[in-house]
């Protein structure tokens, strides 16, 4: 196994914190035992949990105004994999990468697959890109892609998605995520009905190219780049399309792709009820699609979402959504942000696992609103640090991922090794 961080640094850093963690883990274990919760069961679930890293997430993000790249940015997909390898080595929560095409195109996908495997990384859902024009393409996506008024442009976008499936097959991926920014900026610019029909027709062609054991995820987003209307703007349109396209087609919920204050945890419950929740993209936001770090603004909302995901899993043993972090790291080292977010997501999942659903259901049946809320609150307020740290330690990761990463001086080393960095494509969907 390739280890981008010297294992002796990880061992030294863990040694500093091991005794304290042992005491904390024992204390929490006794506390949870009084609630009839076995800490080992929770820890094992945390150890099994994984959230994918988007390949574009290890580059510095930006806004339409500017991007401020830091030193040592990955210059190609192999260097992105190396950075993802750091995140996985220390956090042990991120054993897959979600690639984006054409940004991550290579001549030899088998080579890329083997290179990633050497870091203990596989490939999660593949992402297509029909929201920007590429140099060699014949038809422009200025007025849309899968929903364009022109049939040849739609076909070009369909062909691209099928090429992405082909790449994914070689990488060992099992899902295609489709997000299109198609929409309009003026009232009357676009026929809502025609555009949606084009969307369904185009996606039916992509669906037909899916291997039997693959899934297709439709990602909705309320606005941007279109600011008046977006073809797949909400979970209702997404669900309608997924139900029309077939069993292998499901909806993907990106936390940031909703209007402020929308009850996203309820959307999770509704989509699960329809057996159409295929995936979830984690991030946080204050206003719109801010792509802030997961749980950094509204950690309680993230907990409520996880509570629904845990409930869905308890009701349905087949429920196995694809999880990915979809964030834009404008002011931090992306590796640090992704490790921090993986930690936050794991902690939130651990707290959701502590919810006594039997008791919660009893309070709900009795209409005891206060105690129902307090049942959630009790789990939410539990400090589960020792559980996620112990899970990482037992798998060979770092008790404190950020401190260990900083001690390794990885960023300084890659800044020297990648002198002409700063050119990597870094888009956020
Ligand atoms: Mn997304």
pTM for this one? 0.96
* C-alpha of residue 142 to centroid of ligand 1, in Å: 21
Please compute, for residue 143, the number of CA atoms within 13 A of its CA located in the half-sphere on the CB side: 12
* C-alpha of residue 232 to centroid of ligand 1, in Å: 13
The helix/strand/coil state of 46 is helix
Average pLDDT over residues 324-330: 96
Tokens of 328: 């834009």
* C-alpha of residue 429 to centroid of ligand 1, in Å: 5
Domain that holds residue 147: 52-355
* CA dist 256 → 54, 110, 226 (Å): 15, 34, 16
Strands 183-184, 215-219: pairing kind: unpaired
Q: Is residue 282 included in any domain, yes or no? A: yes
Sign, CA torsion 238/239/245/248: positive
* C-alpha of residue 361 to centroid of ligand 1, in Å: 32
Q: How do residues 106-147 score in pLDDT, each as one tens digit? A: 999 999 999 999 999 999 999 999 999 999 899 999 999 999
Cβ neighbour number for residue 357 with a 10 Å cutoff: 15
3-state helix, strand, coil in the chain (%, to 5): 50, 10, 40
* C-alpha of residue 398 to centroid of ligand 1, in Å: 28
Average pLDDT, the chain: 96
Q: Is residue 5 included in any domain, yes or no? A: no
Q: How many structural domains comprise the chain? A: 1
* C-alpha of residue 264 to centroid of ligand 1, in Å: 14
* C-alpha of residue 187 to centroid of ligand 1, in Å: 26
Phi, psi (degrees; rounded to nearest 5) at 7? -55, -25
The pLDDT of residue 392 is above 90? yes
* C-alpha of residue 88 to centroid of ligand 1, in Å: 21
* C-alpha of residue 365 to centroid of ligand 1, in Å: 36
Q: Is residue 377 included in any domain, yes or no? A: no
297 CB contacts (<8 Å, ≥6 apart)?
Answer: 284, 285, 286, 290
Tokens of 54: 């988007």
Residue 64, pLDDT score: 86
What residues are neighbours of ligand 1 (ion), with CB under 5 Å? Answer: 254, 281, 326, 429
* C-alpha of residue 19 to centroid of ligand 1, in Å: 40
The H or E element containing residue 152 is helix 151-171
Q: How do residues 17-46 score in pLDDT, each as one tens digit? A: 999 999 999 999 999 999 999 999 999 999
* C-alpha of residue 219 to centroid of ligand 1, in Å: 7
The H or E element containing residue 281 is strand 277-282
* C-alpha of residue 52 to centroid of ligand 1, in Å: 12
* C-alpha of residue 252 to centroid of ligand 1, in Å: 8
Q: How do residues 209-264 score in pLDDT, each as one tens digit? A: 999 999 999 999 999 999 999 999 999 999 999 999 999 999 999 999 999 999 99
Q: In terms of C-beta density within 10 A (0-12 exposed, 13-18 middle, 19 or more buried), how is residue 17 classed?
A: middle
* C-alpha of residue 14 to centroid of ligand 1, in Å: 34
Q: Is residue 22 included in any domain, yes or no? A: no
Q: How far is it, in rounded angstroms, from Cα 153 to Cα 133?
A: 11
Q: Is residue 34 included in any domain, yes or no? A: no
* C-alpha of residue 284 to centroid of ligand 1, in Å: 11
- For residue 133, the domain's CATH number is 3.20.20.150
Q: How far is it, in rounded angstroms, from Cα 304 to Cα 292?
A: 18
- 8-state DSSP, 400: S
Residue showing tokens 């979830």: 280
CA nearest neighbour of 347 among 376, 388, 398, 309: 388
Q: How far is it, in rounded angstroms, from Cα 418 to Cα 411?
A: 10
> How many residues would you count in the chain?
429
User: Are the CB atoms for 77 and 106 separated by under 8 Å?
Assistant: yes
* C-alpha of residue 153 to centroid of ligand 1, in Å: 24
Q: Is residue 343 included in any domain, yes or no? A: yes
* C-alpha of residue 257 to centroid of ligand 1, in Å: 8
Q: Is residue 102 included in any domain, yes or no? A: yes
% pLDDT > 90, the chain: 95
Q: Is residue 160 included in any domain, yes or no? A: yes
């Amino acid at each position: 196994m390739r280890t981008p961080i010297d294992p002796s640094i990880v061992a030294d850093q863990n040694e500093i914190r091991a005794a304290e963690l042992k005491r904390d883990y024992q204390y929490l274990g006794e506390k949870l035992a009084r609630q009839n919760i076995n800490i080992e069961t929770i820890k094992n679930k945390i150890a099994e949990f994984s959230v994918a890293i988007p390949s574009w997430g290890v580059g510095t993000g930006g806004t339409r105004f500017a991007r401020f790249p830091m030193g040592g940015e990955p210059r190609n997909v192999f260097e992105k994999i190396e950075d993802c390898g750091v995140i996985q080595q220390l956090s042990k929560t991120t054993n897959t990468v979600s690639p984006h095409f054409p940004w991550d195109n290579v001549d030899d996908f088998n080579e890329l697959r083997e290179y990633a495997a050497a870091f203990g990384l596989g490939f999660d859902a593949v992402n297509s890109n029909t929201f920007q024009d590429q140099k060699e393409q014949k038809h422009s996506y200025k007025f849309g892609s899968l929903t364009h008024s022109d049939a040849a442009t739609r076909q070009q976008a369909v062909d691209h998605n099928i090429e992405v499936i082909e790449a994914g097959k070689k990488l060992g991926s099992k899902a295609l995520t489709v997000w299109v920014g198609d929409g309009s900026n003026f009232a009357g610019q676009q026929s809502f009905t025609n555009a949606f029909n084009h969307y369904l027709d185009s996606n039916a062609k992509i669906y037909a190219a899916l291997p039997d054991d693959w899934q297709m995820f439709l990602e909705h987003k309320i606005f941007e780049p279109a600011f008046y209307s977006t073809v797949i703007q909400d979970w209702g349109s997404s669900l309608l399309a997924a139900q029309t396209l077939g069993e292998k087609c499901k909806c993907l919920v990106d936390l940031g792709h909703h209007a402020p204050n929308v009850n996203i945890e309820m959307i999770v419950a509704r989509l699960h009820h329809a057996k159409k929740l295929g995936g979830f993209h984690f991030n946080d936001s204050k206003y719109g699609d801010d792509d802030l770090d997961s749980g950094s603004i509204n950690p309680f909302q993230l907990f409520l979402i996880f509570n629904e995901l845990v409930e869905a899993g308890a009701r349905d043993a087949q429920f196995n959504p694809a999880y990915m972090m979809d964030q834009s790291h404008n002011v931090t080292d992306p590796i640090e942000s992704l490790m921090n977010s993986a930690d936050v997501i794991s902690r939130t999942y651990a707290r959701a696992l502590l919810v006594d659903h039997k008791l919660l259901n009893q309070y709900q049946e009795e209409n005891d609103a206060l105690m129902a809320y307090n049942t959630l609150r009790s789990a939410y307020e539990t400090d589960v640090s020792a559980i996620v740290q112990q899970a990482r330690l037992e798998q060979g990761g770092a008790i404190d991922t950020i401190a260990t990463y900083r001690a390794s001086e990885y960023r300084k080393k890659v800044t020297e090794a990648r002198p002409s960095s700063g050119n990597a494509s870094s888009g956020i969907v």
